[in-house]
Amino acid sequence: AQTVTQSQPEMSVQEAETVTLSCTYDTSESDYYLFWYKQPPSRQMILVIRQEAYKQQNATENRFSVNFQKAAKSFSLKISDSQLGDAAMYFCAYRSGPTGANSKLTFGKGITLSVRP
């Protein structure tokens, strides 16, 4: 079974600074997908960014980018120019990629990010 580990329960960043959230995972599969979701106090689950394991290029979405290290099974999220609205809980998630029906997301425990004005 796959596992996702987010070892840092909390992090804090100064507004306009850069912060990196860590995530590691364990799998024996070679084909899979990784996601970062954001959950603000409103409790919505909002997709931030996704990465296909077969792609070597790191995904980027505006101020959000990932550092995907497949051999190390590491998938960190970098937030540049942090804004107050980035304060939320962030979840790393894994999904199997082999052929077949859509499969479940396995989530890490999450990390609470606070942004200092």
Residues engaged in binding another protein (CB under 8 A): 33, 35, 37, 42-47, 50, 52, 91, 95, 97, 101-110
Residue 96 Cβ, how far from another protein at the closest point, in Å?
A: 8
For residues 23 and 110, which CB has a smaller minimum distance to another protein in the complex?
110
SS (H, E, C) the chain: CCEEECCCCEEEEECCCCEEECCEEECCCCCEEEEEEEECCCCCCEEEEEEECCCCCCCEECCEEEEEECCCCEEEEEECCCCHHHCEEEEEEEEECCCCCCCCEEECCCEEEEEEC
For residues 64 and 107, which CB has a smaller minimum distance to another protein in the complex?
107
Residue 86 Cβ, how far from another protein at the closest point, in Å?
A: 19
For residues 25 and 91, which CB has a smaller minimum distance to another protein in the complex?
91
- Cβ(22)–Cβ(34) below 8 Å: no
For residues 63 and 104, which CB has a smaller minimum distance to another protein in the complex?
104
Residue 58 Cβ, how far from another protein at the closest point, in Å?
A: 16
